Amino acid sequence: MTQPFRIARGGQIDRSREIGFNFDGRTYRGHPGDTLASALLANGVRLVGRSFKYHRPRGILAAGAEEPNALIQLRRGNRTEPNIRATQIELFDGLECESQNRWPSLGFDLGAINSVFSGLFPAGFYYKTFMWPASYWLKYEAAIRRMAGMGRTAVEPDPDHYEHMHAHCDVLVIGSGPAGLMAARAAGRWGARVILCEDGPALGGSLLGERTAIEGKPAIDWVRSVEAELSGLPELRVLTRTTAFGYYDQNLITLVERVADHLPVPGPHQPRQRLWMVRARRVVLATGAIERPIVFADNDRPGIMLASAARTYTNRYGVKPGRRAVLLTNNDGAYATAFDLADAGVNIAGIVDVRPAPTGALPARARAAGMTVHAGHAVAISHGTNALTGVEIIQLNAAGDGFEGASRPLDCDVLAVSGGWNPAVHLFSQSQGKLRYDDRLAAFLPNQAAQPVTCAGAVAGHYSLAACLIDGAAAGASAAKAAGFGDGTPTAVPSVANEPEAPARTLWAIPRPAPGQGKRFVDFQNDVTVEDLALAKREGYRSVEHLKRYTTLGMGTDQGKTSNITGLAILSGIVGEPIPKVGTTTFRPPYTPVSFGAMVGPETGAHIDPVRHSAMHPWHVKAGARFVNAGLWKRPLFYPKPGETDQQAIDREVLNTRAKVGIVDVSTLGKIDIQGPDAVELLNRVYTNAWSKLEIGKSRYGLMLREDGIVFDDGTTTRLGPSHFLMTTTTVNAVRVMAWLEYWLQVQWPELKVYVASVTEQWAAAALAGPNARHVLADAVEGVDVSHAALPFMGYREGRIAGVPVRIFRISFSGELGFEVNAPADHGLAVWEALVKAGEKHGIMPYGMEALGTLRIEKGHVVGSELDGRTTPDDLGFAGMVSKTKDCLGKRSLSRPALMALDRKQLVGLMPLFKTEEIVRGSQLVANQNTRPPVPMEGMVTSNCYSATLGSSIALALVKNGRKRVGETLFAQSPLTGRSVAVKIVHHVMVDPEGARLRD
Amino acid sequence: MLLIDCPWCGPRDQREFNYGGDGTVVRPPDPSAATDEAWHDYIYIRDNPRGSHVELWQHNAGCRRWFKVRRDVVTHEMQGSAPIGRELPPKP
Ligand SMILES: [Zn+2]
């Protein structure tokens, strides 16, 4: 017979269809509307996993997000996912999954031997193994990992895609139980923009698992009618299969919507999951409450479950959790489970009520129905191997810490346990709201909100249906009012029967029948027992936070939803202090685990960052350039020809530039347009050198310092008009320099009349360099004389190339005669092509970043790593660029003693003693390579390259007092390669030190 | 993720802004006259008060304005914004 535990009728499943699924290699049948957990129970599968440490057989404890045991390896191949709660997996046809934490199989597990030797796995087991010889840990780790196995991640790329959504709303309602539905309806009726988010696939929350009547009809009918009304409200959005998992500052709530997890594979163009970032004016938390277990000896056998879960499986899924049930309770509410189970045909073997005299209406009803109520009794221990076969019950003493009389057995295959409720205050606590401990409910309740949030219903400690409905309506209406909608009048509340409940008896753990008999699990997922907590206390742990980490209580993927408060209460008993004094746990995001896919969203692969291309990019691609990332930019590294090695290509580009002419794309340099009567004053203040005397049509090299005197950036600035300048920055600092100028102009010097605007994107830039550069430019340009007389070194003119107006700067960083041509970006490609065409007869070749770097190093120009946030102008040989007659940013710092020290590292060049040797990048410089460590460091190599011009490896370096040490020999030691090269210190300008070439 | 109230654009998500550090730092008006100690304090020394704090932020993905924000660094409560040159609301 298939599905032997399926009840003949009832439940919110689609009985017209049967679907197949596979668990641990066996196929079963279920219905649409089932979860994996309900379908497994329908098929009589109760053993679903092994515990983490002792490999004890475990079954399904809960019916929702709090499930600690039934963690499943879901799907196969590149879609496989570990640690998914069977209670939240919606069944689909063909679903394949496996249990976890078992080896070699679930039924026969070698790790279960840990249970026999459990003395070896005490609290703090991991930390204790760390303390043994370190080498042992590696061995343990491998073994522990295989035994523990918490599932496997997929090794192939995820085939699905994920989305991110940003949303704003007036009222965000989290949870769609009675309180959440009323809140959403109340706020929605006032016209507020509402988002209602529900964890499960259907609205209704706890009503789905209960057989309550609202307005004389089944609650589910009322849920449907509210749902219909909500769908007609244009400003209200319902998100099902959506978990609110994080509550951040200023009412930012993160939701994960499982768009396609209930399908075998997502549909075409359908994301698998969607991460929502919702900024809400007001939040209504209607997150309900989580039932808590009562701890007793061997309380973890498959068949032992929460009373609310047993009730939910029966009513919502039409599944009997067993054939013969015992109820263990400390409250009246759980009696409904016994009634519902009995109506479904489950034999009630007894109700074990720890209260000495349960006399309320519900116990009376139970007795009237012929059920035996064992008042003042407790379950001492459970029996069974891989599943529950019975329990021993015994009279509790008045204090609840011992027994009276003898125990007697009760046969059963399911034990429904209710130790009361913990309001699901997780999100409230994440919002920084303060909790208070309520003695009457023995629970932590929301107290003082830190953000615009209201708790409604069970999360606020209002457990009855009537209270939830009233609470929700009021919260929704007042949230709408606070957001500017309506007058706060709640909508009418439907009528419900209200059965009064007698008080509960607070009882967290039942004593063991005898010392050493059975294990009392507090945290099922991490196998933490009452005895572990006691041991940790004996070892000196008192702070809850320390105790949690030491014992791993509440540290699993379930974050202790069924164990934290119980553990805290038991600890309070052990240390003899009241619960609020012992403390509470800190709830942190995420409420339930969130996939990395949802977090990352669409920002994977090529979408991690935007890519910036210069206007000339298509030309570089066609020319076969190899590209390098410079920030977000793609820049040509070099242009290899067929058969060339990388170095040959670089050498060719360098030599051609020095002998004939090269062209390089410098569009990425930052460009800032500066205008206003105080433009010169601004330049004088931010640059070390003086700008007052710069003529119109002239450029000047400038150096910028941070306020601490360290070199920040360098570049040329050109005077285009009386109060109009164009500043250039390095590629990497383009954004930073812009924000820097804005800071000084807006915050410190608002009196300066000057505007700055970034024009990096507006201008494409090409640099010509080499002896033939002027011939190329002259052939390409119209309307301007570019002769030496008309356009001298550091001069500026405007002209036209290919009909496009261009800006021409006679500047050079290669040491060769050079020009930089700026064209409006839209025409950059046409201008570049015109220059290349004009250059053909002059031997032009494009060159890339490698050649550019080599040309700069040969000339001793800093290339980047010299500006490492530690170098002063003097360190880099720029002391002469610091004006003595005016102040500038950072200048005051230069006279601080540390920045004037005599042994500061200074920029020098390095050449190997033997030309064939290569100076390795990142080498440290030492005076004597045979000294025993610690070796005094003389400096370090900052930039290196092979110079085809000089036929030698060369480098720039920062060396202590380096300028005075030219001619000295040092050793460049590379710790990475283990190589040591003898190098000679030389002047940092290694090619054309007189600078004759660029001034011709 | 904070919600920062730009005095020009209104409340916007933190990712549109640059943090600009302590908004109470005063640059010595004449740096050359400042003692080494005063200059050192200006460059390196920052208070780290528990509670209300004055910060500088720039709306870099918006109007690009620098402005002042009063924020409680314990609770992350945003306690007001003001353009440069105007007073922030007093410490609550
Ligand atoms: Zn703004």
pLDDT tens digit sequence for B47-80: 999 999 999 999 999 999 999 999 999 999 999 9
Q: How many helices (H) and strands (E) does chain A have?
A: 25, 50
Q: Examine the fold and report which residue of A759, A777, A804 is the final residue of a domain before the chain moves on.
A: A759
- Distance from residue B44's CA to the centre of ligand 1 (Å): 29
What DSSP character marks residue A222?
Answer: H
Sheet of strand A81-85, all strands in order from the earlier edge strand to the far edge:
A26-30, A19-23, A95-99, A71-74, A81-85
Is there a single domain that holds both residue A378 and residue A452?
Answer: no
Is there a single domain that holds both residue A312 and residue A231?
Answer: no
pLDDT at residue A977 greater than cutoff 90:
no
pLDDT at residue A136 greater than cutoff 60:
no
Radius of gyration of chain A (CA): 38
pLDDT at residue A129 greater than cutoff 90:
no
Split at pLDDT 50, 70, 90, the class of A813 is confident
Q: Do A742 and B2 touch (CB under 8 A)?
A: no
Summarised one tens digit per residue, pLDDT across range A150-194 is 688 888 999 999 999 999 999 999 999 999 999 999 999 999 999
Residue A606 confidence (pLDDT): 86
Query: Which residue among B36, B44, B65 places its CB closest to the CB of A746?
Result: B65
In a domain, A504, yes or no: no
Summarised one tens digit per residue, pLDDT across range A824-848 is 999 999 999 999 999 999 999 999 9
In a domain, A927, yes or no: yes
Is there a single domain that holds both residue A278 and residue A313?
Answer: no
pLDDT at residue A119 greater than cutoff 70:
no
Q: Residue A994 is part of which domain span?
A: 899-999
Query: Which residue among A250, A707, A896 places its CB closest to the CB of B2?
Result: A250
- Distance from residue A809's CA to the centre of ligand 1 (Å): 36
Query: Which residue among B18, B40, B85 places its CB closest to the CB of A739?
Result: B18
The whole-chain average pLDDT of chain A stands at 93
Summarised one tens digit per residue, pLDDT across range A294-340 is 999 999 999 999 999 999 999 999 999 999 999 999 999 999 999 99
pLDDT at residue A52 greater than cutoff 90:
no
Is there a single domain that holds both residue A752 and residue A771?
Answer: no
Is there a single domain that holds both residue A809 and residue A942?
Answer: no
Q: Do B76 and A250 touch (CB under 8 A)?
A: yes
Split at pLDDT 50, 70, 90, the class of A120 is low
**For position A323, which CATH number holds?**
3.50.50.60
Is there a single domain that holds both residue A178 and residue A236?
Answer: yes
- The average pLDDT across A195-224 equals 95
In a domain, A316, yes or no: yes
In a domain, A434, yes or no: yes
Query: Which residue among A747, A892, A897 places its CB closest to the CB of B56?
Result: A747
Neighbours of ion ligand 1 (CB under 5 A): B 6, 8-9, 59, 62-63
Residues A23, A29, A34, A38: what is their CA dihedral angle, to the nearest 10 degrees?
-60
- Alpha-carbon separation of residue A622 from A639, A826, A838 (angstroms): 10, 18, 18
Residue A113 confidence (pLDDT): 60
Is there a single domain that holds both residue A143 and residue A197?
Answer: no
Summarised one tens digit per residue, pLDDT across range A427-460 is 999 999 999 999 999 999 999 999 999 999 999 9
Is there a single domain that holds both residue A222 and residue A321?
Answer: no
Is there a single domain that holds both residue A796 and residue A710?
Answer: no
| Chain A contact present for B86, CB below 8 A | no
Work out the minimum CA distance from B32 to partner chain A, whole angstroms.
Answer: 6
Angle A70-A72-A73 from CA coordinates, rounded to 5°: 165
Question: A-chain residues within 8 Å CB-CB of B46?
Answer: none
- The average pLDDT across A510-537 equals 93
Residues A456, A424: Cα–Cα separation, whole Å: 11
Query: A892, A893, A895, A896: best mutation site toward chain B, by most B Cβ within 10 Å?
Result: A892
pLDDT at residue A141 greater than cutoff 80:
no
pLDDT at residue A126 greater than cutoff 80:
no
The whole-chain average pLDDT of chain B stands at 95
Residue A978 confidence (pLDDT): 85
Q: Examine the fold and report which residue of A467, A482, A497 is the final residue of a domain before the chain moves on.
A: A482
Higher local confidence (pLDDT), A914 or A137: A914
Q: What is the DSSP string of A309-377?
A: HHHHHHHTT-B-S-SEEEEEESSSTTHHHHHHHHHTT-EEEEEEE-SS---SHHHHHHHHTTPPEEETE
Residues A733, A617: Cα–Cα separation, whole Å: 21
Question: B-chain residues within 8 Å CB-CB of A897?
Answer: 36
Is there a single domain that holds both residue A268 and residue A306?
Answer: no
% of chain A exceeding 70 in pLDDT: 95
β pairing state of A95-99 and A19-23: parallel
Q: Closest residue of A to B74, CA-based?
A: A432
- Distance from residue B67's CA to the centre of ligand 1 (Å): 9
In a domain, A688, yes or no: yes
In a domain, A726, yes or no: yes
Summarised one tens digit per residue, pLDDT across range A710-756 is 999 999 999 999 999 999 999 999 999 999 999 999 999 999 999 99
Residues A952, A957: Cα–Cα separation, whole Å: 16
Q: Closest residue of B to A452, CA-based?
A: B77
Q: Specify the number of domains making up chain A.
A: 7
Summarised one tens digit per residue, pLDDT across range B11-31 is 999 999 999 999 999 999 999
Query: A168, A248, A249: best mutation site toward chain B, by most B Cβ within 10 Å?
Result: A249
Chain A, window 741-780: residues with a beta carbon less than 8 angstroms from a chain B beta carbon: 742-743, 746-748, 750
**For position A735, which CATH number holds?**
3.30.70.1400
In a domain, A601, yes or no: no
- The average pLDDT across A761-790 equals 97
Total-model pTM: 0.90
- The average pLDDT across A267-285 equals 97
pLDDT at residue A915 greater than cutoff 90:
no
Q: Do B43 and A707 touch (CB under 8 A)?
A: yes
Query: Which residue among A249, A743, A897 places its CB closest to the CB of B20?
Result: A743
Residue A544 confidence (pLDDT): 82
Query: Which residue among B32, B58, B60 places its CB closest to the CB of A892?
Result: B32
| Token duo for residue A890 | 């950072």
Work out the minimum CA distance from A614 to partner chain B, whole angstroms.
Answer: 22
% of chain A exceeding 90 in pLDDT: 83
Q: Closest residue of A to B27, CA-based?
A: A748
In a domain, A267, yes or no: yes
- The average pLDDT across A196-221 equals 95
Summarised one tens digit per residue, pLDDT across range A686-704 is 999 999 999 999 999 999 9
Q: Examine the fold and report which residue of A858, A880, A914 is the final residue of a domain before the chain moves on.
A: A858
Split at pLDDT 50, 70, 90, the class of A543 is confident
Please report the domains of chain B, with CATH numbers, ordered by start residue: 1-26+44-92 (3.30.2270.10)
Residue A996 confidence (pLDDT): 81
- The average pLDDT across A961-987 equals 94
Chain B, window 15-54: residues with a beta carbon less than 8 angstroms from a chain A beta carbon: 18, 20, 27-28, 31-32, 34, 36, 39-40, 42-44
Residue A997 confidence (pLDDT): 80
Is there a single domain that holds both residue A199 and residue A278?
Answer: yes
Question: A-chain residues within 8 Å CB-CB of B66?
Answer: 742-743, 746-747
For residue A801, the one-letter residue type is I
Is there a single domain that holds both residue A678 and residue A812?
Answer: no
Q: Which H or E run includes A829?
A: helix A828-839
